[in-house]
Structure 1
Amino acid sequence: MNRKSTILAFIILTISISTLTAHDTIRTAGIMTWEKNSSSNTRPSDLNDEDKRYWGLETETIHSQTGTGMDALVNFYTDDQEFSMLDWQGQLFMRYHLIGARSFLDPYIEAGIGNAGTVRLGDGEELQMSLYPFISAGGNIVFHEGFYAGMRWSCRLDEWIIPGTVIPQPELAQYQVSFNVGFSYNWHNPFLTYSHDRHNHYHFD
């Protein structure tokens, strides 16, 4: 197993373990990600019509101040030859909430690995795909009843070819800005609750 596959397997394992042992907070949000056109010479803070806007969902499981999660985003558009195209992006991440996920102000930092690509709809031609590691910093405002909204700034650190394939890599932008709106709720793993209750039953009997 090469280095990239090892990193990916480690992140998936970490997220799985976290979900199975979680007994704190789960968040689900709608998310819009803006990606600077990689061929543009304007500043990262400037918007223009050629920039990509992805739409999708994000979910996160938070235990204490550490969260693990994923997001899935898509962008439908028509290219210069009037073909219908699909761009997608999926990410696995680990996130550290600096103050705490239940604070009114919830700043965080994160790191993870993502997969991005593009394909022509209908015939599956023009397929391009790659993996990439990334880091992010962001924050949420957490309101009453679990409602929250926030934004995130992300930086892709590298771009890797898909292991074991010859699929060409898309031209990815280095920076992204995301905006999210969602809700959070507390959840207790029923298997952990059952185990804890059974332990207490035998202990006190």
Structure 2
Amino acid sequence: MDYSPSPNSSWVWKRICGVKHEIAHGYTDGIWHQQEGFSSARCYDWLKGQAPKVQWEKVVWTGWSLPKHNFLGWLWAHGPLQTKCKLLNYGVIDEDTCQLCGMGSESQEHLFFDCPYSRQVIQQAWVYGAKGVQYAMVTNAVYGIWQQRNTCRHEMVLVHPEWLAKRILNDMKARIRERDKSHLSMFDVEWLESKNLM
């Protein structure tokens, strides 16, 4: 525990040694403070601390979504997407009219919930049924709408909402077909087949 890296050590080694000093605070008189004993998993949990449960976790981190959809869904849940409303606040642009519908201020709330274009896309792409698939549809739709918004902003191309809805559904079908379905119940399989998602 007394070891310190030399000044010419790599930053990786210095960081590892820094974590060692943080772990040292978990010991009292050479004994790990948790009753269950020391393990790397328990130590990691202790280092990162207790985070509150968030309501959007199951929607964003569903195994039915593609990783890129999960990641954008995570950004959406945290609110850092650079909408025109934010860019206007930063002084980067002069107006914040929604790129997709030309009405209202382009905030995340408007773009994904109030925008007539987005609502039309979601209504046409939405599939009622299994929760995991519905959650994946949310992140898939958020990704598709955000991608379309950026295409419209940078390339001045806006596709018809029906076309975007079909693309979202096709992405969903491709994801479902490539996943291992051995863990699915007979009911889930029948439901997916009835919706033409398998």
Task: Please tell me the TM-score bracket, short chain as reference.
Answer: under 0.3
Higher strand proportion (structure 1 or 2): 1
> TM-score of the superposition, structure 2-length normalised?
0.20
Higher helix proportion (structure 1 or 2): 2
Highest RCO, 1 vs 2 (Cα 8 Å, sep ≥ 6): 1
Greater Rg over alpha carbons, structure: 2
> TM-score of the superposition, structure 1-length normalised?
0.20
